[in-house]
Structure 1
Amino acid sequence: MGTHNHHHDYNFSERFQFAGIAKILSIVGIAVGVIAIVIGLMSSDHIMVERTYANLLLMGYYFTCVCAAGAFFLALQFVTQSGWSAGLIRIPQAMASVLPIASLLLLVIVGVGLYTHNLYHHWHADGLTDPDSPHYDALVAGKSAFLNVPGFLIRQILFMGSYSIFAFILAKLSYKEDLEGGLNSYKKSFKLSAIFLVIFGFTTPIWSFDTVMSLEAHWFSTMFGWYNFAAMWVSGIAAIIIILILVKKAGYMKWVNENHLHDLGKLLFGFSIFWTYVWFAQFMLIWYSNIPEETVYFYKRWEPEYKPWFWLNILINFLAPLLLLVDRDAKRKQGMMLFVAILLLCGHWLDYYIMIMPGTVETHRGFGFIEIGTAIGFVGLFSFLVLNKLSKHALAPKHHPFMDESLHHQI
């Protein structure tokens, strides 16, 4: 392992120019989102306000998960000393750099949702833990040592705060490496990544228990954390693929070729199958055991307004990658990879929708401008922040010790 001189025709100092149609579309997306959220919150219809807050939670969580997946991708490459990904590492770095903003936004959403619109009313409501109250709930009271407001908020701050600090430092070290060369930054990144992966691995399931599973506090699944992690990881890989292909189509990063895309395709394909395995195991075990307090979770999701989405979720997130990416050539084609990655990002939005909506919006559920507008707004915000970050530094980590290996990567 060492630094190399590159004798290639590539321009390693090139920078992405964030302007034109990409910038306009992202700003328009943000505007659409703001309009949808304002209309929803200002509505005199209580259900409309509930739906808006539920969608804010959905997209705030999804946004944070995709950025966290960027940080996880970075750390994984350092710890495994992977060479193939060196040439495209700037993309997950840009995603990781946005994680502090995403985390802060999600913290505001859960904080406001907790105190004003009571998203977490299943465990945070008057009298649920008081034995003398008519609203006393023995099951919720039994979980109150974990499910209480101070504990909930402290865990949110600790988890997202620690992820954000590691993501920020890992990105900073890589940019420092560009200026100084040598192996000092890489060695520090390796050590920090090892620590981060341990923290991330142990805390992400608890983070998803808090943020999403506690929306229905009577129900629990020990597989829920890994199910969420799989969705996060697939969504993160899909986001990296989309940004990479669009940046390449704009004429940048010529050193990244179909071999790198193939590896990303294998990750997308493999972890979509893993997501399905965890989803099916959770569903099958609950159905097979036929314990009423567990089957209620899926009973809710088989109500007429959710049942089509329930099956569409499996079609998009399992069958689509299985049938479209199983072929070697498909993983090497930009058009096919772009299509599948966009499809899976939409599919996992639907996945989170099915996780969050039944527990937050109790009656008169709807699907329309609020859902679509909020999603467009967050896509615009993600695109604006990540592409803006990507434009701040050279697209190639020219002093990365494995850059030569990445340039000659062939499978």
Structure 2
Amino acid sequence: MAHDVQHYNLDQKFDFTAATKKGLFTVLGIGAILLIIGIIMAIFGGGHAEAGAAEGHAFHWYQRLYANLWINNVYYTGIAIIGVFFFAIQYAAQAGWSAAIIRVMLSLGNWLPIAGVLMIVTFFVASHDLFHWTHASLFDKASADYDSIIDGKGAFFYWPMAKGTFPIFFVIRMVLFFGFWVFFFKKFQSLTYNEDLAGGTSSWYTIRSWSAYFLIFFAVSSSVAAWDWVMSIDTHWFSTLFGWYVFSSWFVAGLATMTLLILFLKGQGLLEMVNENHVHDLGKFIFGFTIFWTYLWFSQFLLIYYANIPEESVYFLERLSSDIYGPFIFVNLAMNFVLPFLLLMTRDSKRHGVFLKLVCLMIIAGHWVDFFLMVQPGTLGHNGGVGFMEVGMFLVYGAAFTFVVLSGLAKGKLVPKNHPMLEESYNHHI
């Protein structure tokens, strides 16, 4: 049946048109305006001192800006690395159905080099305002601020240097994770484009081997990144399934992003090999992992709730009992579980592009709310919330991310024409 695949244009490229760029710059502009309004309101509105009361500091507007930078850095980094992860999964599992769309998955990784720079710079600028454990007095037994629990965890950040000096161990981990993630992304990219020139199956086998190495590294690095970048904000608290929890939130958001991108390309008349069966499979992934995310959310909540150990339950108490964050717990569950679950339950809903687009957009916004709930209460206390600054920053990052991903996608061919399983992808039917 080889002739069936051949009548498609396998040398298709995505044309990043001026109109598409204009649309993205419009969103970026709106986001920037909202962000500036939010910053001005925060400067002149002032903050109450109660958030910083624990540390005896007044609250400053830039702390909210830093918290927002951190939320979006972590969130969009996750979506980018999930693209590379899902690409690697297809090769490790020897999957054929996805052959026509693997380059769309991989394209999300184009954001990783920028994400790494943003993350490291934000940490150096804002670490004192984001991470309580960066204050040297916590490790000084003579100080009134001495904290034995944080002192006990100090080596995880500062080894081999003295606690409370420079968190070299933490920074090395961040640099290593981004370094390896970018390395694997570039490796996969060069191998898949090389396959177009070389033909045969050798590239496929090589990518499969590299995928196995990447998946092992990803399993460890994604969990440790979740502890470092998110869990350490609430330094006293810990959850043994937190790495899984962050991964599941990233994964659903990443799947929604890939699906939107594929539907967008289909709308441009590209990827004609991709039919409603492929779209249905993506819908099933989103549906399934939405339930997986909810299962982890509930497991973490239920065990902490009924064990009722003060140092564990404080995490949920400061969110649920807060006037600012309490309502968002329910928004989070509605946007990330209740609505996707009900909306994607039928077979037809997973096959119709318009419907899926709406659900994907809701999930991308919903999982941002999830990260907002992980970061803001521990960094801003009562001074947080969702306002112009939050919405603006989310739109600025979203537009920049999309611009970088589409620019990367436009550089190479969309379909891996020599992929040994392209025939299977073409004939995919469920």
TM-score by length of 2: 0.91
CA deviations on 1:193-231 (whole Å, 9 max, x unpaired) are 001101111221111000011111010001111000001
Contact 1:96 1:171 in 2 (8 A): no
Selected match of 2:305 from 277, 287, 291:
287
Q: Which moved more, 1:24-33 or 1:63-72?
A: 24-33
Corresponding residue to 1:221 among 214, 229, 239: 239
The equivalent position to 2:356 in structure 1, one of 334, 337, 362, is 337
Q: Identity over aligned residues, as a percent?
A: 40
Deviation at 1:47, TM superposition (A): 3.4
Q: CA deviation at 1:7?
A: 4.5
Long gaps (5+) in structure 1: none
Give a deviation string over 1:89-109, Cα, whole Å, max 9, x none. 121121123322222222222
- Asked if 1:210 is matched to 2:205, the reply is no
> Are 2:70 and 1:47 aligned?
no
1:110 aligns with 2:123: yes
Tell me the secondary structure at the aligned position of residue 363 of structure 1.
Answer: helix
- Aligned to 2:338, which of 309, 316, 319? 319
**Structure 1 match to 2:55:** none
- The alpha-carbon deviation at position 313 of structure 1 amounts to 0.6
Q: Which residue of 2 aligns with 1:173?
A: 191
Letter in 1 for 2:372: Y
Give the TM-score taking structure 1 as reference length.
0.95
CA contact (8 A) 2:80 2:111 kept: yes
Q: Report the equivalent of 1:124.
A: 134
Paired residues, number: 406
State the distance in 1 between where 2:82 and 2:195 align.
22
Deviations 1:328-372 (A, max 9, x none): 121111111111111110110000011110011133334211001
Residue correspondence of structure 1 range 1-400 to structure 2 within 5 A = 7-35=5-33, 43=43, 45=46, 46-114=59-127, 117-120=128-131, 122-148=132-158, 149-302=167-320, 303-400=322-419
> Distance in 1 between the 2:5 and 2:345 partners?
36
User: Which residue number corresponds to residue 426 of structure 2?
Assistant: 407
Label 1:33 to 1:112 Cα distance change in 2 as closer, same or farther (>3 A).
farther
CA distance in 1, matches of 2:237, 2:347: 41
Moved more, 213-222 or 23-32: 23-32
Structure 1 range deviating more: 179-188 or 285-294: 179-188
Deviations 1:368-402 (A, max 9, x none): 11001000000100110011111111111101111
Counting helix residues as a fraction of each chain, which structure ranks higher?
2
Deviations 1:277-321 (A, max 9, x none): 000000000000011111100011111111111011111111112
Shift, 1:40, TM fit: 6.0
Is the Cα–Cα contact under 8 Å of residues 111 and 153 in structure 1 kept in the other structure?
Answer: no
Q: Which moved more, 1:317-326 or 1:14-23?
A: 14-23
Tell me whether 89-98 or 152-161 shows the greater mean CA deviation: 89-98
Q: CA deviation at 1:171?
A: 1.4
Kindly provide the CA deviation profile for residues 9-35 of structure 1, in whole angstroms up to 9, marking residues without a partner as x.
311112111113321122233344445
Q: CA deviation at 1:184?
A: 2.0
Q: Secondary structure at the match of 1:299?
A: helix
Give the SS at the match of 1:146.
helix
Find the aligned partners of 2:363 and 2:382 in 1 and give their Cα distance: 29
Tell me, yes or no, if the aligned pair for 2:37 and 2:388 is still in contact at 8 Å.
no
AA in 1 matched with 2:135:
A
Q: 1:119 to 1:39 in 2, by over 3 A?
A: farther
Q: Which amino acid in structure 1 is aligned with residue 278 of structure 2?
A: H
Asked if the contact 2:35/2:391 (under 8 Å) is kept, the reply is no
Which residue does 2:53 correspond to in 1?
none
| Alpha-carbon displacement from aligned partner over 1:258-280 (angstroms, at most 9, x marks no partner) | 00011111111111100000000
The code of the aligned residue for 1:108 comes to V
- Evaluate the alpha carbon distance shift between residue 165 and residue 379 of structure 1 in structure 2; reply closer, same or farther with a 3 A threshold: same
Contact 1:16–1:252 (CA under 8 A) maintained in structure 2: yes
